[in-house]
Structure 1
Amino acid sequence: MTAMDERPVSTAHTLISEIEGHLLAESARAESRAAAETFAQRLDWLSPAERAEVERLYAEDHLTLTRQAWRHIAGRCLDVRGEYEDRYRMLRQRVLAGGLLAASGMVACVVVVLTAR
């Protein structure tokens, strides 16, 4: 299946995911810069050079913490996905076993009814 521009759908999804990733990263950078500016404004005794350095360091730390949080969340998502896949697999096996048991019970009933005639 292809999209309107004749690229495979999986390529289009990959492209969309990359764009979303870039937008999310830029949003995090802007958020870090804004938080750094807000923090540095409270330090009114700093010189302009000191304020710029504090803002730079704060923004770096904020962005590092954001990345760590994202990695933690992504790891947890993978864990939860694995747990749900395991549960789904077990449920599917139980349903299949129940279906086979029900089918064999019905076959046994049909055999009993036909042999009783």
Structure 2
Amino acid sequence: MTAMDDRPLDGRALISELEGHLLIEAARAEGRTEAARFTRPLWWLTDTQRAEVETRYAEHHLARTRRSWEDTARRAAQLRVEYAAVYRSLRRRLFTGAVLVTAGVVVLVVSLAPR
């Protein structure tokens, strides 16, 4: 139970949320590193200008990363639907084939049985 309400803790949800926070923080750190690398050769920038460029660059990097994650999640959902449809079709065909083979064996056994 949580201290805030009477709902039980969901371990999977908690782990997913923690993983999300860690991924976002890693993306932010990567953005800050890339921003510093980007501004390093821009020697003419003042410290204030450099900080502003780095902040904007890091924000842009995080937004681009988030869009990439969203696109990936959207495509994964599309693929899940497509593969589920293909899987159902293959199962149906396999079942139909099994029924036909079984019916063929039954007909063969009945026709070859002594009378």
The TM-score bracket by the shorter chain reads 0.7 to 0.9
CA distance in 2, matches of 1:42, 1:86: 53
Report the AA paired with residue 109 of structure 2.
V
Equivalent in the alignment of 1:3: none
Work out whether 1:18 is the aligned partner of 2:20.
no
Report the AA paired with residue 105 of structure 2.
M
Report the AA paired with residue 74 of structure 1.
A
Equivalent in the alignment of 2:73: 74
Shift of 1:113: 2.2
**Paired-residue identity, %:** 46
Equivalent in the alignment of 2:63: 64
Shift of 1:107: 1.4
Aligned length: 108
CA distance in 2, matches of 1:61, 1:15: 28
Report the AA paired with residue 64 of structure 2.
L
Q: SS where residue 16 of structure 1 aligns? A: helix
Equivalent in the alignment of 1:47: 46
Q: Deviations over 1:20-63 (max 9, x none)?
A: 11111110011011111111112111111111111111111111
Q: CA RMSD in A?
A: 1.5
CA distance in 1, matches of 2:107, 2:67: 60
Report the AA paired with residue 107 of structure 2.
A
Structure 1 runs (4+) deviating above 4 angstroms are none
RCO comparison, higher one (Cα < 8 Å, 6+): 2
CA distance in 2, matches of 1:37, 1:75: 32
Shift of 1:68: 1.0
Q: SS where residue 96 of structure 2 aligns? A: helix
Q: What TM-score results when the alignment is normalised by the length of structure 2?
A: 0.85
Gaps of 5+ in 1: 1-6
Q: What TM-score results when the alignment is normalised by the length of structure 1?
A: 0.84
